[in-house]
Amino acid sequence: MAAFLTASLSVLTSDGGPFASGPEWGSPVGAPCLLGPPPACGRFSVPAGEGPNQHVSNVSVQLEMRSLWEEFNSLGTEMIVTKAGRRMFPTFQVKLSGLDPLADYVLLMDFVPLDDRRYRYAFHSSSWLVAGRADPAAPGRVHFHPDSPAKGGQWMRQIVSFDKLKLTNNLLDNNGHIILNSMHRYQPRFHVVYVDPRRDSERFAHENFKSFTFAETQFMAVTAYQNHRITQLKIASNPFAKGFRDWLPGRHCVKGQLPTTLLREAAQLHNSPLVPLVGARGFQDSSAPRDPLPTELGPPLYKPLSYHSVYVRAKPRVAPYPLPASLHSFNIYGASPPALNYGQQ
């Protein structure tokens, strides 16, 4: 099986793939770039070779959350890449059909550059511009679904989610994350590989898999979101970004005002009829009138401590530098201390 997978990966990552850089991808520096589907995207829906195996020829894939992907694609999808690795959102999820229920399949993904250009974002026009030639290609990697290999019946019973996949820009990454170059365009590819039980399965590696691409899933790799509309859409649609939703620019929040969720919780605590008392056996009604706090401080209710009362065997002795007599009767709660004449003691 290891030899079969090695042969299949060599076919998938060959230099003659349909996304190889060519003259059709070229565009002059400074020309506007839209993240729409390129003309050659559709030609990868059918794998190269003499013909797919009967175990994969009838496989069909349906992209989940297609409407959300299309909404992002209309704005120009951006995916964050970090040194530690960042998960994709929207998450790549598909629904499979047409698999052999009793055959074993391996599901994997890889990412290929859409062109040989590097881009920059122009904030004054809210568009992407070509900034020059692409950086040297990052090491090619694939991401195996953690449940692979599994029977076709298992794959078809549930939605296949690649929520563990992470994107990184660290060329020395040793965690198995997908390595991408920032400010470059990429197209995710999804592959269904049939695990051929024959001993000479490497001979049929070119026909034992089927690849799928979805034009609406292409994106720009960035280290920070450039388009503010992408930021707003991700906050509004990502279930893990609940804490940011109250601070959306479209909510017209007053500067310094707390989020509505915090204000709601604070109001519930303030209006609760029963408030537990520390050390009490019951509860006290918070609506009952309470004694007002004193507005002025009276005379001290404590006795000043001296080191004689702290240390048991301490012996009284005369201070080396006696204080002026006018300070002995000084009250710290008085209006002002008496005037001192340091020339007299």
How is the beta sheet containing 32-33 ordered, strand by strand? Answer: 32-33, 127-133, 117-122
Reference 94, options 9, 217, 272; nearest CA is 217
Average pLDDT over residues 194-210: 87
Report pTM: 0.62
Arithmetic mean of pLDDT over the chain: 74
User: Residue 53: its pLDDT value, please?
Assistant: 84
Q: Are 333 and 297 in contact (CB under 8 A)?
A: yes
pLDDT tens digits, 14-33: 544 433 433 333 333 433 44
Walk across the sheet containing 166-168 and list its strands: 86-87, 166-168, 178-179
Residues 6+ apart with CB under 8 A from 270: none
What pLDDT, on a 0 to 100 scale, did the predictor assign at position 52? 72
Q: How many CB atoms lie within 10 A of CB 97?
A: 12
Over the stretch 57-73, which tens digit does the pLDDT of each residue have? 999 999 999 999 999 99
Is residue 181 within 8 Å of 135, Cβ to Cβ? yes
Q: Which whole number is the average pLDDT over 277-290?
A: 51
Q: What pLDDT is stored for residue 249 in this prediction?
A: 53
pLDDT (0 to 100) of residue 30: 39
Q: Which residues pair with 194 in a beta bridge?
A: 105
Cα distances from 190 to residues 46, 47, 119, 214, in angstroms, run: 12, 12, 25, 9
Phi-psi region of 158 (alpha: psi -120 to 50; beta: other; left: phi over 0): beta
Average pLDDT over residues 24-43: 38
What confidence score (pLDDT) does residue 137 get?
87
Question: Tell me, what's the pLDDT at 204?
Answer: 80
pLDDT (0 to 100) of residue 17:
44
pLDDT grade, residue 297 (50/70/90)?
A: low
pLDDT tens digit string along 220-273?
Answer: 999 999 999 999 999 999 887 665 555 555 554 444 454 555 455 555 545 545
Percent of all residues in the chain with a pLDDT value above 90, rounded to a whole number: 48
The mean pLDDT value for 152-159 works out to: 96
pLDDT value of position 128 = 96
- Residue 113 pLDDT grade (very low, low, confident, very high; cuts 50, 70, 90): very high
pLDDT score at 100: 95
Residue 294 has pLDDT above 50, yes or no: yes
Dihedral sign of CA atoms 64, 6, 218, 86 in order: positive
Q: What is the dihedral of CA 231, 232, 238, 239, to 10 degrees?
A: 130
Lowest mean pLDDT: which of 41-45, 271-275, 323-327? 41-45
Q: Domain coordinates of the chain in residue numbers?
A: 2-226
Could you read off the pLDDT of 46-55 as tens digits, one per residue?
333 345 788 9
- Looking at the DSSP bridge assignments, the partners of residue 107 are 192
Least confident range from 172-186, 202-216, 314-328: namely: 314-328
**Superfamily the domain 2-226 falls into:** Transcription factor, T-box (2.60.40.820)
Spacing of C-alpha 164 from chain mean position: 12
Per-residue pLDDT, 48: 39
235-248 tens-digit pLDDT? 999 887 665 555 55
